[in-house]
Structure 1
């Protein structure tokens, strides 16, 4: 992840605020707004080791109870005042019980894609400045369930927003940043992360450090990240595989959601 020192940045869903604090060591408070989903009380109770007070003491703006799926949260930020929005290792919280899960019709895979689609859509609609690069960044792990969300191809279908490419996330570039499990006061082992980038304006030519993975090329299966298929027999064998059928189910569920979506 390469960040221009002139950019105005908004972080979202930064659980313990350690990523925002790492950015505060690189950017002045006039260029950084941090936000978390939890209330201040929940944040302090959940994460004993957090950066809330450190950011406040340095007079950085921190927004609590910021829900990326709700327009009202985005409207708390001055309209069209941000250059890049960053969402680190997003994942919907676990359902507290089976009854809660049964009360909604969407699969967990679809719910995670919906979270990220709304994040990208609302960021562009409410806060990203058309005079700037208009970047949305999602850093995610390259393991299940994250790699099953088809991030590159599925999130912006029907939106005038483009996937530009991705780059390796180097946690060593952000001093003090610790990755946590969702809803748990526990750091997780550093795993390889990938930062994916979208924009309604900037082109990939303007960000040469980004690359597009091979599985997005022709003769590949993009949502399985498989290929190239050297023969029709190879392609048919993949189509009949358990992995492809599982990913096809996720894809079909997502397409059904998009047909019913109202933005």
Structure 2
């Protein structure tokens, strides 16, 4: 039973009781007539109008006919007792206030899909929320979840070993706003601008969307970095780690250098992971790259393999696979996988 129904039942019982009191009072103090009349009682400058005869439907709503007086009365002095008069007045006011006797208002007609769309447009666009201009005058959505492949704008993301910053810029553009992104490279800003044609514009795209760009960051020592080491990240990304070209070294020596780079990165990144965070390493799977044994290295650092999925460059529009030691050419990243590692569950 709703609140309105409960109040109605209470008022019915009160009216029944007052009806009995009124019948007894009038039997002792009033004269009767066969004609229904309207009674006016003055009491302490209050005027109470009681209509003795009501429509049958109204009587059924308020009181039970079997308990109502059988005669119609004309009240004559002395007036109604003050407490009885006030009680009747309060009941009438309450009925008028809550509208028990009024029919329920019809439910508003559902808005058409066109009107709903129009309302959303007036409120700022999609269901994701309103839009605003950021400090760089870029129109960005607020509190709207946006994804690209394995990543979304609710994750705190650290990228290391960036080449021309095209991967970081791809994420920032997909999110619309990127305060959750910190993109880093080992190379200096001057080196990047000299060697990569689009590095400057990619960096600008990240910063325009409130992302952070840092240079001179060594992926093998990030856990000790003064500005980064204390931060916990949901995703730490190292795409195609590569220690360099060493034409004068043996295959085994070069392999050790590559493996050492990845191993030290994992050791540091592990210290910067949130509880449910993940380390993502995209790595080629053919030729000598298969000898790196990325999974076994991760296990030795207390990391577990969550998933290994095929890496598709087309999933990241604008991403260019640059060599990390100069030259603006792209290398062929096929075939390759993205390895996702998390903390081992004890």
User: Tell me, which stretches of 5 or more residues in structure 2 are unaligned?
Assistant: 1-148
> Is residue 2 of structure 1 aligned with residue 144 of structure 2?
no
For 1:38, the equivalent position in structure 2 comes to 187
Mean Cα deviation higher: 106-115 or 9-18: 106-115
- CA separation of 1:3 and 1:29: change in aligned 2, threshold 3 A: closer
RMSD: 2.4
Residue 148 (1) aligns with residue 294 (2): no
Q: Deviations over 1:136-176 (max 9, x none)?
A: 0100112223211011223431x222122301112222110
C-alpha distance in structure 2 between counterparts of 1:137 and 1:84, whole Å: 7
Q: Which segments of 5 or more consecutive residues in structure 1 lack a partner in the other structure?
A: 204-263
Please give the alpha-carbon distance, in whole angstroms, between the structure 2 residues aligned to 1:4 and 1:172. 17
Q: CA–CA distance in 2 between the matches of 1:165 and 1:66?
A: 27
> Which structure 2 residues correspond to residues 69-218 of structure 1 after superposition, within 5 A?
69-71=220-222, 74-77=225-228, 79-95=230-246, 98=248, 107-125=253-271, 127-130=272-275, 133-157=276-300, 159-183=301-325, 184-201=327-344
In structure 2, relative to structure 1, the CA distance for the partners of 1:58 and 1:2 (3 Å cut) is closer
- Give the one of 160, 179, 199 matched to 1:12: 160
TM-score (normalised: structure 2)? 0.51
Q: Distance in 2 between matches of 1:46 and 1:38?
A: 10
Q: CA deviation at 1:116?
A: 0.9
Work out the CA distance in 2 between the residues paired with 1:67 and 1:200: 22
1:124–1:134 contact (8 Å) kept in structure 2: no
Q: Is the 8 A contact 1:116 1:155 kept in 2?
A: no
The answer to which of 68-77 and 28-37 deviates more is: 68-77
**1:49-64 map, 5 Å:** 49-50=198-199, 51-64=202-215
2:84 aligned residue: none
Structure 2 distance, partners of 1:71, 1:180, is 22
Larger radius of gyration, structure 1 or 2? 2
Q: How many aligned residue pairs are there?
A: 193
**Contact 2:279 2:340 (8 Å CA) reproduced:** yes
Q: Once the 2 structures are TM-superposed, how far is the Cα of residue 202 of structure 1 from its aligned partner?
A: 7.0
SS of 1:25's partner is helix
The CA deviation at 1:180 is: 1.8
